[in-house]
Amino acid sequence: MAKISIGADHAGYKLKEFIKNYLISKGHEVTDRGTNGEASVDYPDYAHPVADDIESGRSESGVLICGSANGISMAANKHQGIRAAICWLPEIAELARLHNNANIISLPARFISEETAKECVDRFFNTAFEGGRHANRVNKISCS
């Protein structure tokens, strides 16, 4: 199974706990980078450790969660080796992996049910990058 790093701000805390436990039940090794409650926090403080885990190889991929998934994705995508994709439907999660080789799935806690989040995570982690014509495009994403 995969090594996955997970993080969320206060708006995503409950969904993070649900997804973390779901991933563990599926046999994944999960590193929880916080937050650990619903007190207001700053999403970059959780996006950067998850992104660092992936860039360093400590984790293969990640899950990030905030209210809209926008802020936490923006912070993670500042890292050169990160491709965080906002997903709210299983089909989008599949395409994020299949066509964009995303290595972080970002979930909008305020706009997604636990069941749909679980379906998105399943689709994300069960889809391989297609490569081919998409590889050239993905290779152009990084600015370095």
Q: Check if the beta carbon of residue 70 is closer than 8 Å to that of residue 50.
A: no
Among candidate residues 10, 48, 79, 99, the one labeled active-site is 99
Phi then psi for 62, rounded to 5 degrees?
Answer: -145, 165
Look up residue 18 and give its DSSP letter.
H
Phi then psi for 114, rounded to 5 degrees?
Answer: -60, -40
**Residue 99 annotated among the catalytic residues of the structure:** yes
Contacts of 16 (CB under 8 A, 6+ apart): 6, 7, 8, 32, 35, 63, 65
User: Side-chain half-sphere of 31: how many Cα atoms within 13 Å?
Assistant: 19
Which among 144, 13, 83, 117 has a CA at the least distance from the CA of 74?
83
Among candidate residues 10, 48, 66, 87, the one labeled active-site is 66
Active site residues: 66, 99
